[in-house]
Amino acid sequence: MRKFGTFDIPFTGLKLGTHRFQFDIDRSFFDQFEFSEISNAKISATVDLEKQSNMMILHIELQGEVESMCDTCGEDFNLAIASNERVIVKFGDEEIEQSDEIWVIPHHEHQLNVAELLYEFSHLSLPIRKVHPEGECNEEALEKLSDLEHHEDIKIDPRWENLKSIKKDLK
């Protein structure tokens, strides 16, 4: 069995129209990728394949949560994610460079593996800044960070002071 065989969509025998496929994504899925930012997750993926005579349109919806570390307090928490994406699949004589929205696959293909799309869209749904919901950060960690910020006895490396004087001279 292929590595991501459970994410194959056999489209050859499907009639024209829309067909729905459901996938569950968890830790074992992301463990298959070498450099995944997501390690643990519980995501439900719905792929609506709209088959037309000369192409297919995939509507991909992701709903779920991933385990993430809070950028503010450093504590792990479950981060809710949601995503709605669209990919157009066209047929060509050979597989060519794919863009973000258009995939070109050979005419002889009979199935489409959506594992890479689900992986990419899961990562794209992550916010730039991952923080707990308001009021749920670890208070003890926040207090320690605050103490460090306001600590007046911190000695600054004299080289930084020299750089600051150069910066002032440039102005």
Nearest Cα to Cα of residue 114 among 2, 1, 17, 6 = 6
> Which of 7-11, 60-64, 113-117, 158-162 is predicted with the least confidence, judged by mean pLDDT?
158-162
* 126 close to 79: Cβ distance less than 8 angstroms: yes
Q: Output the pTM of the full model.
A: 0.78
Strands 41-51 and 17-25: antiparallel
Q: What is the pLDDT of residues 8-22, one digit of tens each?
A: 999 988 999 999 999
Q: What is the pLDDT of residues 62-111, one digit of tens each?
A: 999 999 999 988 899 999 999 999 999 998 876 555 667 888 888 888 99
> Which of 72-76, 136-140, 143-147 is predicted with the least confidence, judged by mean pLDDT?
143-147
Nearest Cα to Cα of residue 44 among 28, 30, 58, 25 = 25
In angstroms, the first-to-last Cα distance of the chain is 65
